[in-house]
Amino acid sequence: VAGAIGGAIASFGISVGMQGIEKGFDNIDWYEVGIQTAIGAAAGAVFGAIGGGIDYARAAKAWHGGAKSMKIHFENHGRGMGYKTQIQYTKDALKIVKNGQYIASKNAYAVVHNVTKNAYKFVGVTHDGLYLTTYSIRTFTATKARLLGLLF
């Protein structure tokens, strides 16, 4: 939808601008502007869909088990964590892998989510570290968090 809106706005502006320069702004052919706006909307929708498909494929490749695993984990955890899309859920999991604290005993990465509730965003990975296996909120007692290296 955003691609279609962006394409329509851009095409509208270009059409009005070009006609205004060529014919004068008092002589704009609004029918032609409408056609160009519709073409821009269609092109924007197509390119937006292609971009969304590429983002989805990249996100699915990050999961051990691909798109099916990503969907299952999103439904089981992601929605409850407030994510609206599987893509955003996966992107945030990958950020935690990149920036989080590695927990060797769990083969996972974690970051503090809510320190007063001892809650952590927890991302499990395969043994080779190439794929995500889970992403959820986990709670640990302060003692357990210290043992895992999450609290100092």
The CA–CA distances, whole Å, from 47 to 11, 56, 108, 118, 121 equal: 14, 14, 36, 43, 34
Q: How many CB atoms lie within 10 A of CB 27?
A: 9
> 95-137 pLDDT, tens per residue?
999 999 899 888 999 988 887 788 899 999 999 989 999 999 9
Q: Which residues contact 69 (CB under 8 A, 6 or more apart)?
A: 63
Q: What is the CA radius of gyration of the chain?
A: 24
> 38-77 pLDDT, tens per residue?
877 777 776 666 666 677 788 889 999 989 999 999 999 9
Q: How many CB atoms lie within 10 A of CB 120?
A: 27
